[in-house]
């Protein structure tokens, strides 16, 4: 269980809206459930906006209550659905969005998503002073201001389960596999997967990898009789499928690895107990944070405690890859 703040409510709301935006992540549904049930316990009406900011512009609204969100805890994806909305970058589009929120009497907006989605919430507050709260919902766990994000643990678990199966055939054929995982330009997902799956190596964007050196290491391990097969976890580094190019470069150096791109498989599936607990906690605390009078912040977790970070910092600061994670990986490779 996370350490919770002591809240002092100083304001009230009659109606708030919630939406999920960008790439979906397992655990968004438990977050929605927690938001709705906490809000209704304080007499707040909750409007669910389907399909993110695009749905806001199209007024795809649904009144949510405890009954409508029952049974969401174990479901993957997002009940509210999601979509990308490039036009939300335009000031005129955001003006239209605010006008729609005002027309429906919506007094605050809660957004679950990655840094791009939270940027939209921040812009609405900056331009129209509407209270907004963000929740980190991304399997990449690349958002500044929180140690964990909704969906990360499930994505790691899903990838490890897949690698466990790939490892069987890798061993049977004395072959190495390049297994590509998501993570955009942040390698934490790849690192956690590599550690949990017992991978031989991990390639992440934060550390330049020399293909010649990798091939030589594999050859040396075979020579020593400790690495005739194995898994190399590769972070997608902003370009899905780039491990195929990596494989071709390795073939030119005498290696013959196979490639498996896990892709969107990592976004699906029932959320783990860890992600359900995280989502429920953050959803509950988001409502308390609103009632405490705070706005334009993201509710996350830092060192085991629920914390808030200004959205300005969330969208402008870069989250660094923990040094201790790479140290652990390097030591486990010997």
Output the pLDDT for position 251.
Answer: 84
- Catalytic residue (one of 24, 99, 115, 140): 140
Q: Are residues 135 and 181 in the same domain?
A: no
- Domain assignment present for residue 1? The answer is no
Output the pLDDT for position 219.
Answer: 72
Q: How many other C-beta atoms are found inside a 10 Å radius of the C-beta of residue 238?
A: 11
Q: Are residues 275 and 217 in the same domain?
A: no
Q: Model confidence over 186-236: pLDDT tens digits?
A: 999 999 999 999 999 999 988 877 777 877 777 777 776 666 678 999 998
- Domain assignment present for residue 325? The answer is no
Output the pLDDT for position 225.
Answer: 64
Q: Which of 244, 264, 77, 251 is nearest to 181 (CA)?
A: 264
- Domain assignment present for residue 194? The answer is yes
Output the pLDDT for position 284.
Answer: 99
Residue showing tokens 């009406």: 45
209, 234, 268 - which closes a domain: 268
Query: 128 Cβ partners below 8 Å, 6+ apart?
Result: 94, 98
Q: Is 140 a catalytic residue?
A: yes
Q: Are residues 85 and 198 in the same domain?
A: no
Q: Are residues 215 and 67 in the same domain?
A: no
Decide: helix, strand or coil at residue 235.
strand
Q: Are residues 146 and 40 in the same domain?
A: yes
Q: Are residues 210 and 244 in the same domain?
A: yes
DSSP character for 150? B
Distance CA 233, CA 67 (A): 42
Output the pLDDT for position 248.
Answer: 86
- Domain assignment present for residue 329? The answer is no
Q: Are residues 83 and 55 in the same domain?
A: yes
For residue 20, is pLDDT > 90?
A: yes
CA quadruple 178, 181, 184, 189: dihedral positive or negative? negative
Q: Model confidence over 79-106: pLDDT tens digits?
A: 999 998 999 999 999 999 999 999 999 9
- Domain assignment present for residue 10? The answer is no
Q: Are residues 46 and 191 in the same domain?
A: no
Long-range contacts of 251-254 (CB under 8 A, 24+ apart): 253/211, 253/212, 253/215, 254/215, 254/219
Question: Can you give the residue range of the structural domain that contains 192?
Answer: 152-268
Output the pLDDT for position 226.
Answer: 67
Task: State the average pLDDT over residues 71-75.
Answer: 95
Q: What is the CATH number of the domain that holds 178?
A: 3.40.50.460
Q: Are residues 74 and 116 in the same domain?
A: yes
Q: Are residues 160 and 237 in the same domain?
A: yes
Q: Are residues 180 and 124 in the same domain?
A: no
Query: 332 Cβ partners below 8 Å, 6+ apart?
Result: 195
Task: Phi first, then psi: give them for residue 323, nearest 5 degrees.
Answer: -60, -35
Q: Are residues 296 and 207 in the same domain?
A: no
Number of separate domains in the chain: 2
Q: How many other C-beta atoms are found inside a 10 Å radius of the C-beta of residue 97?
A: 23
Which of 64-78, 147-161, 164-178, 238-252 comes out lowest in average pLDDT?
A: 238-252
Ramachandran category for residue 225: left, alpha or beta (phi over 0 → left; psi -120 to 50 → alpha):
left
For residue 273, is pLDDT > 70?
A: yes
262 neighbors 179 (Cβ within 8 angstroms) = yes
- Domain assignment present for residue 324? The answer is no
For residue 241, is pLDDT > 80?
A: no
Q: What is the CATH number of the domain that holds 102?
A: 3.40.50.450
């Amino acid at each position: 269980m996370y350490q919770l703040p002591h809240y002092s409510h100083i304001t009230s709301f009659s109606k708030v809206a919630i939406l999920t935006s960008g790439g979906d992540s397992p655990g968004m549904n438990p977050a929605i459930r927690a938001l709705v049930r906490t809000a209704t316990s304080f007499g707040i009406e909750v409007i669910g906006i389907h399909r993110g900011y695009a749905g806001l512009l199209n007024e795809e609204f649904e009144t949510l209550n405890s009954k409508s969100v029952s049974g969401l805890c174990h479901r993957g994806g997002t009940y509210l659905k999601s979509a990308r909305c490039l036009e939300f970058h335009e000031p005129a589009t955001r003006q239209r969005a605010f006008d729609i929120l005002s027309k429906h009497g919506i007094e605050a907006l809660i957004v679950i998503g990655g840094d791009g989605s939270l940027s939209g919430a921040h812009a609405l507050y900056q331009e129209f002073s509407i209270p907004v709260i963000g929740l980190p919902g991304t399997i990449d766990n690349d958002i500044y201001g929180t140690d964990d994000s909704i969906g990360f643990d499930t994505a790691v678990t899903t990838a490890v389960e897949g690698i466990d199966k790939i490892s069987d055939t890798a061993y049977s054929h004395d072959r190495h596999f390049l297994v590509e995982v998501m993570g955009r330009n942040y390698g934490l997902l790849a690192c956690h997967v590599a550690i949990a799956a017992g991978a031989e190596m991990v390639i992440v964007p934060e550390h330049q990898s020399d293909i010649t050196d990798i091939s030589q290491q594999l050859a040396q391990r075979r020579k020593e009789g400790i690495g005739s097969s194995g898994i190399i976890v590769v972070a997608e580094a902003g370009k899905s499928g780039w491990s195929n190019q990596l494989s071709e470069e390795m073939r030119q150096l005498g290696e013959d690895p196979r490639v498996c791109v896990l892709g969107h498989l990592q976004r699906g599936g029932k959320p783990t107990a860890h992600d359900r607990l995280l989502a429920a906690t953050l959803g509950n605390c988001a409502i308390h944070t609103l009632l405490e009078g705070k706005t334009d912040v993201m509710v996350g977790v830092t060192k085991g405690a629920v914390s808030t970070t200004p959205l300005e910092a969330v969208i402008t600061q870069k989250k660094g890859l923990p040094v201790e994670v790479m140290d652990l990986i390097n030591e486990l490779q010997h």
